[in-house]
Amino acid sequence: MAVNNEKLHKMKALVEKLREASRAYYAQDKEIMSNYEYDKLYDELQALEQETGMVLTGSPTVSVGYEAVDELPKEAHESPMLSLDKTKEREALRDWLEDKEGLLSWKLDGLTIVLTYQNGELTKAVTRGNGEVGEVITNNAKVFKNIPLRIRYQGELILRGEAVITYQDFEEINSHIEDADAKYKNPRNLCSGSVRQLNNQITAERNVRFYAFSLVKADGIGFENSREKQFDFLQEQGFDVVQYQRVDAGNIVDAVADYETRIQTYDVPSDGLVLIYDDIEYGRSLGRTAKFPRDSIAFKWADEIRETTLKEIEWSASRTGLINPVAIFEPVELEGTTVSRASVHNISILKGLKLGIGDRITVYKANMIIPQIAENLTCSDSLEIPDTCPVCGGKTELRAVNEVQSLYCTNPDCDAKKIKSFTLFVSRDAMNIDGLSEATLEKFIGKGFLHQYQDLFHLDRYRSEIVEMEGFGERSYKKLTDGIEKARDVELPKLIYSLGIANIGLANAKVICKYYKYDIDAMRHATVEELGEIDGIGEVIAKAFVDYFTDEKNNIVFDNLLKEVHIIREEIDEASQTLDGKTFVVTGSLNHFGTRNELKDLIEKKGGKVAGSVSAKTVCLINNDAASNSSKNKKAKELNVPILTEEQFMKEYLEMEP
């Protein structure tokens, strides 16, 4: 009995740990454990379930995906979207296929989407969500790079596929982000955030692509009982179909080897392969388990693991004070390249690995690309976390955010913070000053030219020294000073963003500036409660903003900066502010505006505010489906808030004829 209790306790711990990792990965787009560790724990839990004959509520072996977030409308799928059973053994694929033929395709690493077309028009797009309920992202899907908005087939067509961002587009997007801390971590996270945006202009800018991998419904079309014929049909309608090969037991192993070679240069993120029977009726006859369909199986790359020795931990400081640990180890060959370093991400992961210099560790490439530590074979746990910053020597401290521990430098004058802060300050979305790379800023800071932001506007004091510096001359100096003078004219949101306030991006800065009608003094004396009233500004952002302007040193820096710049502000016609003081909520699809954001911008230009949820302050809820049982409709009815169609709102509040 004691053994069973011990196993039950272990199963509960594994379920909670895996669910926490899934919530972080799918709902919050962050990674708290590696794929390798997740798979290992998942397999351990599955083995315990088979051994004990028990499956706990909430086990990831019977529940899949993430919970749909509140900001997007939710919708139940007509049939559950199951995950796939998986193997890492090539021979297991051959045994599974037996004497049948199948289609072997990439298992793409993005976000699964269900598309519905009626009368040849794209009418609905829904994310996988938790497999039962997804998020409606129709407007966003309409701006994917390669989705046909109209097709020849006029019946109801339902298909599934993967939304992805290629490595090339991922690198291009990151290349325009000056601040290293703000760069996106991987294409999958960037894609997830892009697909689930409330503003589809952002989605359009991210170059999201869609690859079909399954036809769900197309009445009246004969496919000769063949999945491949379904793929042919989808291609004829204008869809990009996931790349596949027709296989049988005789060539399946060679086909897997071919994919393994091609993934090294394949531009679309993939974390394995999918094998499905070509014979549709045979596959359907096999039925399904509680979690898996029996007509298909996933192949996960068997990670190439190498043993090596940990030589040191390199501590890399950033502008926020965050100090990231990077493992340096004896070079090893992995997936055809030599690797000698891997990010350890944070202190929680570092402690979990029980690292020590000289430990024997195993390393691999996640998805055959990103170097990671798999296991620590020695587990000496002798590594000392530095109590001083590697850059400035200032005191460090451990801080826990969402139960994840990280190391920070507490010295506000740390050179690493200065370099990264100035890099953000001059970046394109901030002050937009050309000719000041991070390397140049590092030289200027090292020579004592720059202490506060205002010093950038007085580099003429060091003209003779700058023109003599390597890589500089009269022409470069003039280009630099011209760029600095041009930057003196700046919009207030860009100036606020340039300050590097934690969690305040350009979009948040714009929202705050509009709320306070560009009144700098009012913004500086904002309270957390006031900022919390602004749609999209949560408690964390509000507190960061208030804390910044509560600090006397920050106010001095800002005052000195204001003396150097001229704030450009769009003139507002007071007569046009017909919605001043009124708060609206917009939900559902629109007929007269391309996106909700277009309507939101128009309301804000007229002085109104668009909130994310219905409250007693809401003037009306704009929803073309007044009869729906959505949470916003229910709340509006409870509070006696009018529900108006788009046309009714346009006539009553915008004085526009639809």
- Which residues, given as ranges, of the chain have pLDDT below 70? 1-5, 23, 25-31, 54-58, 62-71, 80, 176-182, 289-291, 302, 319, 335-336, 367-369, 402, 535-536, 570-573, 612, 658
The answer to whether 270 touches 107, Cβ cutoff 8 Å, is yes
Integer Cα distance of 529 and 53 in angstroms:
51
Burial class (CB in 10 A: 0-12, 13-18, 19+), 507: middle
Share of the chain above pLDDT 70, in %: 91
Name the phi and psi angles at 103, rounded to 5: -115, 125
Q: Kindly give the pairing relationship between strand 618-622 and strand 643-644.
A: parallel
Q: Which residue is it, tokens 């796939």?
A: 84
Q: Which of 107, 417, 494, 600 is catalytic?
A: 107
| H helix or E strand, kind and range, residue 133 | strand 133-135
pLDDT value at position 3? 47
End-to-end CA distance of the chain: 72
Burial class (CB in 10 A: 0-12, 13-18, 19+), 234: buried
The answer to whether 110 touches 162, Cβ cutoff 8 Å, is yes
pLDDT value at position 572? 63
The distance of Cα 25 from the centroid of its chain, to the nearest Å, equals 9
The answer to whether 370 touches 349, Cβ cutoff 8 Å, is no
Integer Cα distance of 400 and 387 in angstroms:
16
pLDDT value at position 2? 41
Which whole-number Å values give the CA distances from 21 to 33, 136, 226, 403, 404, in the listed order? 7, 24, 38, 12, 12
Integer Cα distance of 6 and 561 in angstroms:
62
pLDDT value at position 63? 52
Integer Cα distance of 433 and 451 in angstroms:
17
Q: Quick one: the chain helix, strand, coil %, rounded to 5?
A: 35, 25, 40
Q: Which DSSP string corresponds to 479-521?
A: HHHHHHHHTTEEEHHHHHHHTT-TT--HHHHHHHHHHTTT-HH
pLDDT value at position 333? 85
User: What sign does the dihedral 14-17-22-27 (CA atoms) show?
Assistant: positive
pLDDT value at position 169? 87
Active site residue 632: no
Name the phi and psi angles at 425, rounded to 5: -55, -40
